[in-house]
Structure 1
Amino acid sequence: MQKIIFLCALLPLSWSKPNVTLIEEINSQQSAWKAGINTIDDIESRLGFLGIHPDPNFKLELQEPQKTRRAIPETPDAREYWPQCKDVIGNIRNQGRCGSCWAFSTAEVMSDRLCIATNGTVKFEFSPEDLINCCSNCGKKCNGGYTLYAWQYYMTSGVVSGGDYNTSRGCQPYSASSFIYGIAPTCSKTCQNAKYATSYDTDKQVGGSPYQIPGSVTSIQNEILKNGPVIAGYEVYEDFQFYQSGVYSHISGVEVGRHAVKIIGWGTENGVPYWLVANSWGKEWAKLGGLFKIKRGTNECGIEASIISGYVANKPAPGSGVRVLGSGVGAVLAMTLFYLLKF
């Protein structure tokens, strides 16, 4: 089985062609997507190289999603499919100069799925900062990491809440050190937000085990329709830094590494099928508010080969004290009725 390695940190190297030349080359060779200069011009400072998984025999549970009773829709968007969680799923985050997409994509999917599983009664913004700083076996912090280990850390140790840099959301918002300088702080088992009343131990939430989704389009679609957005890893080429709009496929330039993101939907544009993907480079990146579309059904850049996700649970971490968010009989009945009507 293919190793589940998401190297969100990319090799820091110089692009092989001048920007203008590469942009002209991309736009002249195809019309499916538009290339141009993005507002973020420091891509290299955000990226690094992690390496491969040390165990060549590593395997992850392969889970075939249950088929929905309804026909697979043509153009679903998780933000609209679960309107009660639109603000959570549509929250485009920003990893800054730290190569931490492994933590961001995992935290985002955890937040989305917990909201969906509780029918919108629990909106807990998981902290990438907590994962980066305190998950000792997740990788090399701002120099890349593994989403699988991040989810396992959520399962075994729990993760606190935390918004983006320069916010006052949650226990551990994203730090200036990671965002501006690409240097992760040391692990702190206290809340870093003075305005947040809950303690670090009480704030922690734990989830269930991670699993891999088979690489077929139908399997990925059924998984998203059943449980919500998924984590995807894919190869990044030089031309991707110039993506503006349309359905991306690799046109020009060498491979520079791998990136981890979350898939929130799919559709077809000008006859080209695509996955709708949330990036973690802020809403100003590209022209789709921080989202991008990538060709679907051909394993473009390997995006369909390494899809993982996991189970969520609305409960505090062991030993963290009693903290119940949106639980109780009413919430359980609401969630049960929601799934019966949805599927």
Structure 2
Amino acid sequence: MFLLIILNLFAFSFADTPVDCNTKDIIGQWKLEIENISDDPLVNCQAKSELSILDTKIINLEQPNIITNLKKQQIGTWTMIHNEGIDLFFDGKRYFTLFNYTVDEEGIVTSHCESMRPGWSRNNIIHPTNFSCFNGSKVNSKLQPVEPITRIIKPKIQLNEESEDDIEYSLNMKSKWIKRPFQSFNATFIHSHNKLITKKKDKQFPSHLDWSNHNLTNYIPSINFVDPVYNQGKCGSCYAFGALSMIESRILIASNYTIDVQLSQQEIVSCSPYTQGCNGGYGTTVNEWIIDHGISIRKCFPYRLKNQSEEQCSSKNCGDGNRIQKQANTDSIDQDDTKPQNTYFIDSYGYVGGYYGACTQEAMIVELQNGPIIVSIFASLDSFKTYHGWKQSKKYFSGDNNQENGIYRPLPDEYEQIKDANHIVLLVGYGTDGDDSEQLNRRNDEPEKYWIIQNSWGRSWGQDGQARILRGNNTILIEQEAEYANPYNVRIIDKRGSLWNKSANRGSVSYAIIQSPQFFALIGLSFIALILLIIAVIIGLFRRSIVHNEYTELVGIRISSGDINSGQEDEVSGDSSAQFVGSIGSG
């Protein structure tokens, strides 16, 4: 009975919109029609039925991710957003939208991959204000609309069922953690936004990496840079939990373990028109919102398991506490250090590998050196729902079963069930079977490689909410679609509580010296030497006091002896006695 309850417990919501377009559908010439700049930076372009066209642009989308003009000159880059939308980067602007679709009375969806829904155009900067709406249509060489490119699919939106008590417990776990700075850690970020990553072999990087149990140096115990396990509940918000957990971890890494922030999943669900709330979204659409508008901390807008229609964005309450504010008529951001920071931004984001479809195991390992990333997986298999973790696997599985060593792989008869990815999780690291003391005996003589994921289904799933997934063969599509984001202008808090800018100081020679383990070893040795010196001085003063007392006592004895002798022996003169006493006293 318990197993049946578990099997029915998890359903998934990953689809932003029920659209199914592929790269072949998109390659070709497109006409973009753009409105004038809106007065409202929060304009919901997809709610518009008609646009007042001000400008038209003709572009060519070419393989693998190149945008060219009519003269075949490269002017930018592009990427699919899964199979539902597109990001365009050219002429100093960013364009984001989803493809069109229709739904009939029976719920059957028809994708229209030759046309775009109204989307957003803005300057390719952090926190832009010049938002315009646009739409797009695929055209032929004569700039005429092409034949409809349609694909019929069934709806793929389902919801995850969990209790509110479980979610409140998992969200409150983080408030019990205490973070302290680790001065010897120096994070190095590899920015690869819309650039192809050169493939590197695993051996060029550590064979084991786990940001939830990370060993910085041989002198410091392993520490956890990852959030506690959350529970998304009955709202299909895995995309928000995954993306924000990634950003929270990377803020903690970039701030040298001094800024522990909890970001608002409910803001993404309730406020962002780039996603469909509890009906799903993608990491990229979360990152689009954060680079455009920022993300508030969770206490400004706590998680309520409610959709946009149930929990309006007006519930967000940060007041004037935002430390990062947009300066009027400029593209810069003003930072007031006298106010608490309630809003955070990112400065870059993208698909691992450079664009959707370019993800590889090697590229994932490269990006993981900078911090956790998010991955899309197919999570509907019964064996995945009932995964027990690597410590308990031997108890539940034996023989030729797929999970005896705790590394998850589907059962043989489940592979044909794997379809499109439908769930987003946090990828916190990787390793090899037998590379730690917790690992059970291997099933095979050849060590197996694995990924370490952290789910948003609460701590009761897997190994306290985590799982090890077989690495190297795209198990449950885990190596097909990975995403990253880098936090904007993270500031480091030193022991005195002052703030200093990472970009201005982290690369300096003095900062590198201060952050080195040798520096702290030298400081430690100097401190020990100082203590020993103080002890030596105290002992010296104490011994001198003892010697002085002994001398004083000896002088007193000599004086008394001299007086007695002078009275008994007439041959000894007073002058001689005085000289003798004087010689003792001067010593």
Query: Normalising by the residue count of structure 1, what TM-score does the alignment of the two structures yield?
Result: 0.70
Give the corresponding residue for 2:371: 228
Contact 1:132 1:141 (8 Å CA) reproduced = yes
Counterpart CA distance in 1 for 2:280 and 2:478 is: 18
CA drift at 1:295: 1.0
1:94-109 equivalence runs, <5 A: 94-109=231-246
More strand per residue: 1 or 2?
Answer: 2
Contact 1:88 1:123 (8 Å CA) reproduced = no
Contact 2:214 2:224 (8 Å CA) reproduced = no
* SS of residue paired to 1:81: coil
Give the corresponding residue for 2:79: 59
Counterpart CA distance in 1 for 2:514 and 2:6 is: 41
Contact 2:211 2:224 (8 Å CA) reproduced = no
> Which structure exhibits the higher relative contact order, with contacts defined as CA atoms closer than 8 Å and separated by 6 or more residues?
1
Contact 1:99 1:144 (8 Å CA) reproduced = yes
Counterpart CA distance in 2 for 1:71 and 1:339 is: 27
Give the corresponding residue for 1:263: 427
Give the corresponding residue for 1:144: 280
* Counterpart selection for 1:273 from 426, 449, 462: 449
Contact 2:14 2:239 (8 Å CA) reproduced = no
* SS of residue paired to 2:428: strand
Give the corresponding residue for 1:172: 301
Contact 1:118 1:331 (8 Å CA) reproduced = no
Point out the structure with max Rg over C-alpha: 2
Note the residue ranges of structure 1 that are not aligned, 5 or more in a row. Answer: 1-18, 21-35, 163-169, 317-324
State, as a whole percentage, how many aligned pairs show the same letter: 22
* SS of residue paired to 1:236: coil
* SS of residue paired to 1:311: strand
Give the corresponding residue for 1:212: 351
* Counterpart selection for 1:283 from 459, 478, 481: 459
* SS of residue paired to 2:487: coil
Match of 1:75, as an amino acid?
Answer: H
Per-residue deviation, residues 79-104 of structure 1 (Å, max 9, x unmatched): 23277994550421111111111111
Per-residue deviation, residues 22-43 of structure 1 (Å, max 9, x unmatched): xxxxxxxxxxxxxx66758421
Residues 1:332 and 1:266: Cα distance change in structure 2 (over 3 Å): same
Per-residue deviation, residues 149-177 of structure 1 (Å, max 9, x unmatched): 11011101000111xxxxxxx22221153
CA drift at 1:185: 1.6
Asked if 1:89 is matched to 2:226, the reply is: yes
Residues 1:48 and 1:228: Cα distance change in structure 2 (over 3 Å): closer
Counterpart CA distance in 2 for 1:79 and 1:332 is: 28
Per-residue deviation, residues 294-313 of structure 1 (Å, max 9, x unmatched): 11111112211211112211
Match of 1:241, as an amino acid?
Answer: K
CA drift at 1:75: 2.2
CA drift at 1:66: 9.6
Note the residue ranges of structure 2 that are not aligned, 5 or more in a row. Answer: 27-77, 81-193, 326-340, 354-358, 390-405, 434-441, 492-496, 518-587
Counterpart CA distance in 1 for 2:484 and 2:198 is: 11
* SS of residue paired to 1:59: strand
Asked if 1:43 is matched to 2:10, the reply is: yes
CA drift at 1:235: 1.9
* Counterpart selection for 1:238 from 372, 381, 384: 381
Give the corresponding residue for 2:488: 313
Per-residue deviation, residues 206-228 of structure 1 (Å, max 9, x unmatched): 11121221223222112111x10
Residues 1:189 and 1:337: Cα distance change in structure 2 (over 3 Å): farther
CA drift at 1:337: 3.0
CA drift at 1:338: 9.3
Residues 1:238 and 1:66: Cα distance change in structure 2 (over 3 Å): closer
Give the corresponding residue for 2:254: 117
Query: Normalising by the residue count of structure 2, what TM-score does the alignment of the two structures yield?
Result: 0.43
1:24-39 equivalence runs, <5 A: none
Residues 1:149 and 1:284: Cα distance change in structure 2 (over 3 Å): same
Per-residue deviation, residues 46-101 of structure 1 (Å, max 9, x unmatched): 54754237785361624527979x94222221123277994550421111111111
Aligned residues: 284
Counterpart CA distance in 2 for 1:183 and 1:292 is: 34
Give the corresponding residue for 1:6: none
Contact 2:418 2:476 (8 Å CA) reproduced = no
Match of 1:42, as an amino acid?
Answer: L
